[in-house]
Amino acid sequence: MRGIVEYEWQDALQDAVHERDPREIEGRVLIAEIAIAERVHSPCRVDSIETQALFDALKVLRLLRSSAYRAIKIHKPRHWNPTVFGTVR
C-alpha cells in the first residue's frame, strides 16, 4: 500500500523504496532519478518545499543504491566468476 503522493516523481521513488530484490533496485533507482531530472528540467516552477523533497529523494536513492550494492556483493560466492555463470548484470 502506498502513501499519499504529492508529486508525480514520487511514484517512481516509492517503487524504488518498496523493491525487495537487490538486483532490481538499480533499475528502479535509475527510473526514479530520471523522473526527478525530468521534474527539475520541466518548465513548471519548483517551489522550495518540492525542492527540499527532491534533494531528500536523491539522498534516499543514493542510500538504496549503496545498500543494494552491498547486499549483492555479500551474497556472491567468494570465488564468483561471472563468465562461468552467464552474463554480468
CA-based Rg of the chain, rounded to a whole angstrom?
16
> In terms of C-beta distances under 8 Å and separation of at least 24 residues, what long-range contacts does 22-27 make, across chains too?
22/67, 22/68, 22/69, 22/71, 22/72, 22/75, 23/68, 23/72, 23/89, 25/64, 25/65, 25/67, 25/68, 26/65, 26/68
- Pull the grid cell for residue 16: 524504488
What pLDDT score does 89 carry? 47
The tens place of each residue's pLDDT in the chain, 89 residues long, gives 455 668 999 999 999 999 999 999 999 999 999 999 999 999 999 999 999 999 999 999 999 999 998 888 776 655 555 554 454 44
The domain limits of the chain are 9-85
- Pull the grid cell for residue 84: 562461468
